[in-house]
Amino acid sequence: MRKVRDPKAEALAWFARLGHAITTDDLRQFSSWRDDPAHDAAYREVEREGLRLRGRFVVTPDPQGYSVIDSWTGEPATFANAQLIGINVADADDVREILNRRTFDSGGRRRQT
């Protein structure tokens, strides 16, 4: 009997895996997996859920390093008049934390701007 795969469960596993150091082969496997429209839709859903849970500003890998993305707009964040793309992971994490602190008060409520 052939095992039926659950695209959402696989998407959750990929989402978790991509949050850590990965190899070029991992990226190739992920890209191949995501070529299936059902897998792509499941991954986009998991990604949206994950972004909402982590805060407004999130760190994602990019071809040159890491980017800080504004999850509300989907665009790279700007800090000190520079787009936060292609930076090292430590800097990206530090800036993400600062930007999220600016966005939310200590009780987790959105600050009024």
pLDDT digits (tens, 9 = 90+) for 39-98: 999 998 888 777 655 688 988 888 899 999 998 888 999 988 999 999 999 999 899 989
Distance between CA 46 and CA 54 in Å, rounded?
Answer: 12
Domain ranges across the chain = 1-54, 55-105
Distance between CA 77 and CA 58 in Å, rounded?
Answer: 9
Torsion, Cα 32 12 106 85, to 10 degrees, reads -10
